[in-house]
Amino acid sequence: MATGNHFEWQLFNGQQWVSIANDFVIEAHYCQPGANGISIYLNMGAAHIDFDEMTVDGPLHNLSIRRNTLLSANQKQEVGWYYKDNHRWCEYGSQGFGGRASSIGSDFIEQQYNSNPRGSVQFTAGSMTYSVDFNAMTQMNLSTYMSRKVRRRPKFNAIVTHNNSTTAHQNSSPLLATPSANPTNSTSQYIWEFMGDEGIWTEYQKPGCSLDSAEIERLYQLNPQCQVSFTVRRFSYTLYFGGMYQVNNKYGTKRAVRRVANGIQQTNSALSQARWQFKDMDGKWKDYSKGGSRGHCSVSSQDIEAEYQEDSTGTMSFRAGRFTYELDFSDMTQTNQSTDTRRPVRRLQQ
């Protein structure tokens, strides 16, 4: 465990609890509300941690996982509460619900949760009333009965220290509009990348971009929950550290962003090169090919792999020609939503 961490991830190997090396990578993923889990590599093989269930599947059947918090009596970690909107996870109190903010925020929900972890809390957004069920981790619209998933996740490196009558936030600073001119003392240990048009992770680099990985990392260290503005040619963007995404300020286009340790960049890049294929009507395996012409698919292998890494038991939708399909990672099949035609799918590791 790195000195100064406020957390520690451990595995039970059937005999004892042991610390996991470089567990900050697990913690960084865990603090992102959209992360379902993460795959890690142990001496005995690969293992997958499910963040919702706090379970681990791996080469041994008796593996268990736990996260310890290492805080003094006057400290607590800030916690975020999030609901799954149509396409993204939104924190309570922020704008959502069709442009309306909820009447309560994460702090209030956390207080209610600590009072009764198996209870619930009601709130309003616009003219609607909702209920959050802590036991089921769901949100219910009490008028329409629409249910949405809810998640409770700590905020990365956000520790509140109570000093007598005052409260200080560690690692906090005002929102950072643009990078300062302070030079970076050393080469960044982390690489910052965004998901490009072809589903390829691309590093932030000058001169095309006004920021590079080293500058983004320095700003991130100042405040892991802030927003950073930057430009690429004639367009301006905002990078949101809290949600790990960037938005084109003119068109609203949103792209995923990630922060990876320099030493494991090649490993992560190799994972993104996994090859996805479907068995066509002629019995031959064919690659998913992204393109605009008739018959081509709206997603590439890299797009599918990114979804698979987020939730290896979930589903995703895509288009090919005039049809819409659903790809089921559990069954490894794709289904035509109009004709119900089902075809086998496979994943090849290059």
Domain ranges of the chain: 7-69, 75-156, 190-268, 273-348
The stretches of the chain forming alpha helices (DSSP H) are 24-30, 106-115, 213-222, 265-272, 301-310
Percent of all residues in the chain with a pLDDT value above 70, rounded to a whole number? 82
Q: What is the CATH number of domain 273-348?
A: 3.30.720.50
- pLDDT tens for 242-271 read 888 898 877 778 888 988 877 544 444 444
**What is the Cα–Cα distance from 278 to 346, expressed in whole angstroms?**
6
Mean pLDDT for the stretch of residues 193-199: 73
Neighbouring-strand partners of residue 151: 82
Return the CATH fold of 7-69. Answer: 3.30.720
On the question of pLDDT at 186 being above 80, the answer is: no
On the question of pLDDT at 3 being above 90, the answer is: no
Return the CATH fold of 190-268. Answer: 3.30.720
Cβ–Cβ < 8 Å for 217, 192: yes
Mean pLDDT for the stretch of residues 143-163: 87
Q: Which among 58-72, 146-160, 241-255, 299-313 has the top mean pLDDT?
A: 146-160
Question: What local confidence, expressed as pLDDT, does residue 273 receive?
Answer: 63
- pLDDT tens for 76-134 read 888 999 999 887 889 998 765 455 667 788 989 998 988 888 889 998 888 889 999 99
CA dist 13 to 10, 25, 73, 296, Å? 10, 20, 30, 47
Question: What local confidence, expressed as pLDDT, does residue 133 receive?
Answer: 95
Q: Which residue has the higher pLDDT, 198 or 341?
A: 341
Model confidence pTM above 0.85: no
Mean pLDDT across the chain, nearest whole number? 79
List, edge to edge, every strand of the sheet that includes 7-12: 17-19, 7-12, 64-69
On the question of pLDDT at 327 being above 80, the answer is: yes
Question: What local confidence, expressed as pLDDT, does residue 265 receive?
Answer: 43
Question: What local confidence, expressed as pLDDT, does residue 139 receive?
Answer: 95
Q: Which residue has the higher pLDDT, 182 or 67?
A: 67
Q: How many residues does the chain have?
A: 350
Structure token pair of residue 347: 């994943």
On the question of pLDDT at 202 being above 50, the answer is: yes
Handedness of CA 219, 211, 176, 29 (dihedral sign): negative
Return the CATH fold of 75-156. Answer: 3.30.720
On the question of pLDDT at 174 being above 70, the answer is: no
- pLDDT tens for 273-305 read 678 899 988 888 888 877 644 456 778 888 788
Q: Which among 7-11, 149-153, 166-170, 270-274 has the top mean pLDDT?
A: 149-153
- pLDDT tens for 209-232 read 888 888 888 888 887 877 787 888
* Two domains, one topology: 75-156 and 273-348: yes
Our measurement of the distance from residue 343's CA atom to the centroid of its chain's CA atoms, rounded to an integer in Å, reads: 29
**What is the Cα–Cα distance from 54 to 289, expressed in whole angstroms?**
36
On the question of pLDDT at 182 being above 50, the answer is: no
C-beta neighbour count of 140 within 10 angstroms: 19
Question: What local confidence, expressed as pLDDT, does residue 86 receive?
Answer: 80
Q: Which residue has the tokens 């990578």?
A: 25
**What is the Cα–Cα distance from 145 to 83, expressed in whole angstroms?**
15
Peptide bond into 207 cis (omega under 30): yes
Question: What local confidence, expressed as pLDDT, does residue 172 receive?
Answer: 37
Question: What local confidence, expressed as pLDDT, does residue 179 receive?
Answer: 38
Question: What local confidence, expressed as pLDDT, does residue 343 receive?
Answer: 93
